[in-house]
Structure 1
């Protein structure tokens, strides 16, 4: 058990060297790391929100807005289906659904059958999975009720949250924040942690905007003041301007949607030198934009963002190149933020920031010092106990533990992980687990010595008989860490990652590395007794 071939010794040492090599950049000044050649390891651990400061946001999807949008979609689709089948109807909103009234009651049964398509799930329909999105019933001739189902709404919310996590991630990543944490929480909430964030107000504004861009025509059939005093024409709505100035009477029909954009960049107008946002459409969007501008020359064309008019320039000539620009008395920062929002895409539903916390760098440094002190004191106590209990073998165990911690930092650096206080707690716990494995080995060796075995046989049997116990204890702990990782969120995941990695390195260092060091000691000293 103590015999190591040259190849095996080289493989153990190479593994240790690689782990420590990967961890080395964490001990170097940042200027040294930047100056290192690209082929050398240069990744370092990123400190989490609780260590270097930053901002924490809890976002909530507007469930009522989702329901309102779904109901409006049901109403529009129901009208279209019935009109296509020559059935006259009227559709009115009714709670979480619509009530379709048919002038001819004889059309009721046919209408119910035609409207069943509205309840088909958005996904999974091919294999019969997924939940019905709406129920279609009729209890009175001439009336058909279409109501959203709880299951369908839950599925819709799940898809919206998943999509929102992606879009929020795109927005945050384009601002240069390092290692943000963006996770779903519950059914309709998203947690965003931004370590090192210096301008939380700007990010709060970015995260809270839906960024739904629409290009619509201005309705010139009635003055906007008259529309506000009486009622806007059917198919038009009065919308405010983004700068709080005049109002506009805007047609409801969206001529070109913002999701047809392929790029948006902040730039400067060549004539006025004011900040603007230049945009470019995809092929379909360019075709629609060219058709609309060709058919509406000399008419104002409104650019609407989240229900507010950014600007309403008059179309002087057809724009067929698939690109254009948005102006609106922007500052440079506002133009950059709007371009960022348009590039990352519109959120599928409005979100609000319901909780916000800012951790200052001072608190982060205090947390770092507290974590370092806890790790240092804990490690010194463990090392002191091992040396007092096992003498030379306690020193060997302490060396193995130090190598273990170095390998943990190397693997975390390689993975680009974020180190948090719970992560530090996982590393400290790993030190205890590693020493526990050495204690098992050394106690087995003591038992063999008491039984009268020779030095070599005692050492060999101690490692061999302790191996099964070490594997059992570490495998069960690793299973617990895996469950914490897949079930937990945030801080729990950070703890589980460091603990899981620490268990793997512990089995290697506490058994293999310790055994190699003991083997070297035995071959070098040729002891007649074991100092344990």
Structure 2
């Protein structure tokens, strides 16, 4: 009990003081004192309910996912049948009624066509995503299953959450809360962002970039009436472009999508000094872009962003190296926002804002003030009770309580955690429960003294026996905290984080540190009796 090696003392004190020091930048941030710039300054971030900020709810259209899957399947089937050896000829390909259907020219190719298509429709192999039927001997019909659609929508929503997180990080904001709500909704909360317009501008952009060949056979009169030739579709020109208000017919298949982008940066055109966005493709995208431009020299191709044509330049020569430039009547701010959107990736599905609100910082400041008052009152009451009940051992419990709060804040600061209003409740709860371990230990020591054990034996046995109950109780609390974190939403998670971290700091300070201090006092004073 009395034997604590010097290295162990240094390790325990160093660990305690390091975590306690990590809490100082957060505590000094609300005072006139300034933390030195040369030192690391981990801080606890405040959640939306404390710092104020923007709250937005986004909703996706699942029908868009099914349409995109249908288009991808059509392109995949075309490529598979054309690349077969010998080539499988087909016709009358249609995507009506949410089905992909086509007719083979020869019934002798049915088996070969089936073998080429099966790898495309098997997907992950876990669920059946497409049903394949052969009607009238040569007509193939591919239909999306409900399981496949649900799986695709779920993957699209998960992908949308990652894209949203990257875009918010690009704005320079910290610790956003992004939660999926139901099947097709996403809740976004950004603390400290009082103007939601910039956030809405970023999240409202799908940033789906496409390069498609212009259909030069389309008649201008038909395009003006919205009539596209077979195999083509019409896109309107974007606002601010010279041809705003008109449309352009482009080939529906065979273009390049911006999925293979690796970088996008706002810059200026060296010739006109106009704001532009420089984009870079990965190896696969660069190869596709080079092939497209090599095979279509002296032909126009359209640059389409979110369903609107930005420009339709002529391919004067092959564009190699995987680099290209997006131009339009952009402002410098627009190119910066577009670069963030493209760099973070396109949203797998369009998201519409269905709810928005701004939370002011006044409510959070009042909550913090009242929370601090509650913590102060609770701390004073606990300290008074412990000192009155256990004397010197109560003083040790009080000092441990102070270090407990400091270490809890320090760990949250180092982990860059977010403190929410329920988190403050967790702090108050931690303070109230932090001395439970010391109560168990001190009462156990009392019992051992009443049984006639000597001072050192009573103290040692008190810590040993009480620690078992302390660890058992905190294990159950830890399990409850983990479950709250795993299955809870933002506010519940904030409470769970404080609860879980508080369990570790409470046990460490109440058991390990107080035992170190008691051992030092006993070794130095060698008392014949103790008042407890």
When the two structures are superposed, what TM-score results if normalisation uses the length of structure 1? 0.87
- 1:360 match: 360
CA RMSD of aligned residues (A): 3.1
Q: Deviations over 1:143-191 (max 9, x none)?
A: 5442222332333233323332322222222221122233444444433
SS at match of 2:142: strand
**C-alpha displacement of 1:270:** 3.6
1:219 aligned to 2:218?
A: no
User: CA–CA distance in 1 between the matches of 2:135 and 2:293?
Assistant: 48
SS at match of 2:133: strand
1:120 aligned to 2:122?
A: yes
User: CA–CA distance in 1 between the matches of 2:211 and 2:109?
Assistant: 38
**C-alpha displacement of 1:79:** 5.0
User: CA–CA distance in 2 between the matches of 1:188 and 1:530?
Assistant: 65
Residue number among 98, 102, 105 corresponding to 2:100 in the alignment: 98
Contact 1:57/1:355 (<8 A) preserved:
yes
Contact 1:210/1:306 (<8 A) preserved:
yes
1:305-324 equivalences in 2 (<5 Å)? 305-315=305-315, 319-320=319-320, 322-324=322-324
- 1:172 match: 168
Name whichever of 212-221 and 86-95 sits farther off: 86-95
- 1:406 match: 406
1:8-157 equivalences in 2 (<5 Å)? 8-29=8-29, 35-37=36-38, 40-78=39-77, 81=80, 84=84, 86=88, 88-93=90-95, 95-100=97-102, 115-121=117-123, 123=124, 125=125, 130-138=126-134, 143-157=139-153
Shift in alpha-carbon separation, 1:467–1:307, aligned structure 2, 3 A: same
Contact 1:118/1:134 (<8 A) preserved:
no
Q: Deviations over 1:236-270 (max 9, x none)?
A: 22211220533222232453332343332212334
SS at match of 1:211: coil
User: CA–CA distance in 1 between the matches of 2:256 and 2:138?
Assistant: 37
- 2:492 match: 492
- 1:333 match: 333
Shift in alpha-carbon separation, 1:67–1:445, aligned structure 2, 3 A: same
1:411-490 equivalences in 2 (<5 Å)? 411-490=411-490
Name whichever of 100-109 and 504-513 sits farther off: 100-109
**C-alpha displacement of 1:440:** 0.8
User: CA–CA distance in 2 between the matches of 1:185 and 1:13?
Assistant: 45
User: CA–CA distance in 1 between the matches of 2:152 and 2:386?
Assistant: 57
Contact 1:261/1:285 (<8 A) preserved:
yes
SS at match of 1:396: helix
- Structure 1, unpaired ranges of 5+: none
Q: How many residues align?
A: 524
Contact 1:19/1:410 (<8 A) preserved:
yes
Contact 1:217/1:250 (<8 A) preserved:
yes
**C-alpha displacement of 1:211:** 0.9
Residue number among 186, 192, 195 corresponding to 1:199 in the alignment: 195
Q: Deviations over 1:299-354 (max 9, x none)?
A: 54321001101122344555446434322221221111111111222122222333
- 1:351 match: 351
Shift in alpha-carbon separation, 1:493–1:134, aligned structure 2, 3 A: same
**C-alpha displacement of 1:230:** 6.6
- 1:258 match: 258
Shift in alpha-carbon separation, 1:34–1:349, aligned structure 2, 3 A: farther
SS at match of 1:377: helix
SS at match of 1:367: helix
- Structure 2, unpaired ranges of 5+: none
User: CA–CA distance in 2 between the matches of 1:99 and 1:477?
Assistant: 58
SS at match of 2:23: helix
Name whichever of 352-361 and 329-338 sits farther off: 352-361
User: CA–CA distance in 2 between the matches of 1:182 and 1:353?
Assistant: 14
User: CA–CA distance in 1 between the matches of 2:254 and 2:113?
Assistant: 28
Shift in alpha-carbon separation, 1:418–1:351, aligned structure 2, 3 A: same
User: CA–CA distance in 2 between the matches of 1:288 and 1:81?
Assistant: 17
User: CA–CA distance in 2 between the matches of 1:462 and 1:206?
Assistant: 60
Shift in alpha-carbon separation, 1:285–1:15, aligned structure 2, 3 A: closer
User: CA–CA distance in 2 between the matches of 1:422 and 1:530?
Assistant: 41
Name whichever of 467-476 and 454-463 sits farther off: 454-463
Q: Deviations over 1:420-469 (max 9, x none)?
A: 22222222222223211111112112223333444333323322221111
Shift in alpha-carbon separation, 1:377–1:3, aligned structure 2, 3 A: same
Contact 2:223/2:248 (<8 A) preserved:
no
**C-alpha displacement of 1:68:** 1.4
Contact 1:266/1:276 (<8 A) preserved:
yes
**C-alpha displacement of 1:297:** 5.4
Name whichever of 399-408 and 440-449 sits farther off: 440-449
Q: Deviations over 1:27-56 (max 9, x none)?
A: 33599877443xx44212122222212222
Contact 1:239/1:309 (<8 A) preserved:
yes
SS at match of 1:506: helix
User: CA–CA distance in 2 between the matches of 1:304 and 1:231?
Assistant: 19
User: CA–CA distance in 1 between the matches of 2:100 and 2:234?
Assistant: 25
